[in-house]
Amino acid sequence: MKDIRKINFQHNEIRRLNNMFWDKIAHLYDLFENVYNGKVYTGTGKKVAKFIEPTDTVLECACGTGAISIYIAQKCKKLIATDFASGMLRQAAKKCRKFPNVIFKKADITNIKCRDGRFDKVVAGNVIHLLPEPEKALHELERVVKQGGKIIIPTYINMSKGTGTVAVKFITLLGADFKRQFDLDSYKKFFEDKGYSDVEYYVVDGRMPCAIAVITKAWCGDF
């Protein structure tokens, strides 16, 4: 029991420090992304929005400063955008203030507080590589999406180009904690290892490319 409490304390402390980092850089994050990787930063949001229908209720986890949220909001019926860092949520709310169909909430992607099958689409952008236990997040995303709905997971594949590796080193020096890094092949293998075999992949190319994994939740009875 003591060991379990120690592990939980360590996980909570790591999460607290991570939140402090993302809160600290929230007001500078868009500037860095737009200057360094603007084509991919905006292109990813536009590409994700292509999977969204006007009747969709969408959950976005780890919305950050709203770079993807602002494009989803223009397409969907309702968007609930969440993040664990309050600073990021404040920036996202400012960016999306003209959209009445968006609600911002502080939430944990590994423990989503809502019923099963609530959302038509769920989106989790550039967060999988930061999580110590990404399988928990994947399980939650799959749980809350409807049967036949889509799980959309954009992630920087910074190992694909030297310029991406340099950027990660810089952000790490500032305090970011990357648990894993990907190129396209290792990103595909990541999902295969987690038991997802029928995944579509799309790449937004640029200085630091982004791979978008799209998983369609099977209907009960599908094999």
At 11, which CATH number? 3.40.50.150
CA dihedral 80, 81, 83, 88 (to 10 degrees): -140
Report the pLDDT value the prediction gives residue 36, as an integer from 0 to 100.
Answer: 73
Q: Report how many domains make up the chain.
A: 1
Other C-beta atoms within 10 Å of 78: how many? Answer: 16
Are 60 and 44 in contact, with CB atoms under 8 Å apart?
no
* Residue 202 domain-assigned (yes or no): yes
Are 120 and 56 in contact, with CB atoms under 8 Å apart?
yes
pLDDT along the chain (223 residues), means of 10: 43 48 67 79 97 98 96 98 94 96 97 97 96 96 98 90 62 71 96 96 94 93 53
| DSSP per-residue codes, 151-163 | EEEEEE-GGGSHH
What is the three-class DSSP state of 122?
Answer: strand
* Residue 82 domain-assigned (yes or no): yes
Beta-carbon contacts of residue 173 (< 8 Å; ≥ 6 apart): none
| DSSP per-residue codes, 30-92 | HHHHHHHHHHHHHHHHHHHHTT--TT-EEEEES-TTSTTHHHHHTT-SEEEEEES-HHHHHHH
* Residue 222 domain-assigned (yes or no): no
Give me the domain span that covers residue 144: 2-216
Q: Of 4, 35, 40, which is closest to residue 204 (Cα–Cα)?
A: 40
* Residue 176 domain-assigned (yes or no): yes
* Residue 221 domain-assigned (yes or no): no
* Residue 31 domain-assigned (yes or no): yes
What does pTM read for this prediction? 0.86
In the numeric block, the tokens 């630091």 are attached to: 208
